[in-house]
Amino acid sequence: MLALIVTGILCSCGTTSSQPTADIVFKKIDLKTHRAVTPAIQTAEWTKDWWIPRHESIRKRIAQGNVDMILIGDSITHRWEWEKDGKEVWDKYYAPRNAVNMGFRGDRTEHVLWRLKNGELDGISPKLAMIMIGTNNSRGDEYTAEEIADGIIAICAEVRKKLPETKILLLAIFPRGENPSPQREKNAQASQMASRIADGKMIHYVNINDRFLAEDGTLSKEIMPDLLHPNRNGYAIWAEAVEPKVAQLIGE
């Protein structure tokens, strides 16, 4: 079933290069059916009061039009809106670009897929979608690195299907935890496996994780106080690291 979702994307990306486009790569990927690629509503108890209302608020925002950029993800993206974390940086880099924040705390790949299939991409054609998702799938042994990668690929496929003119900037899952760990390694493996869909034309893959880490691989609480979510310093690092690519892809 998931293979049909992926292979249903037929855009040629407008290139005659011998390098395979992302859409041709999609057609060769046979995603197995599993939880990470099965669209699902968020059901965690602590999300019940706000998750659907946030989804509806995003649908109302995009219905207004004037959307040139979207950011898709989990709490790490969601917290671009928070005064104590990313808002100041957001107002500098993304508010002027008519960006919409589609980050939801606690979301895994399957929750993002549900949202994208249920109205969050309808009626818009932004220039760029920046995607960073997967860290919530990596806790414990519920998902393998391959399954997380499948979820990321399925999200990109959905964006390509619904927004064929929109370029994608896919980011490696950010580092978490003070020191290198099996969870970090799982996320790194998932990111690398998902990166195979990047064609350098419609889908671009960037790994900025070294910007957050010291030379010995440690993650500082001065950048991510809880060793997962960036603070204002962390969001500034993120924005500055991707800015040249964002400007290029938007066509500035």
Which of the residues are catalytic? Answer: 75, 226, 229
Kindly report the backbone phi and psi dihedral angles of residue 187, in degrees, each rounded to the nearest multiple of 5, phi listed first: -65, -40
Name the helix (H) or strand (E) containing 85: none
Cα distances (angstroms) measured from residue 241 to each of 130, 183, 233, 247: 13, 24, 12, 11
Report the Cα 212 to chain-centroid distance in Å.
Answer: 18
- Cα separation values, 12 from 20, 27, 194, 225, Å: 10, 12, 20, 43
H/E element holding 170? strand 167-171
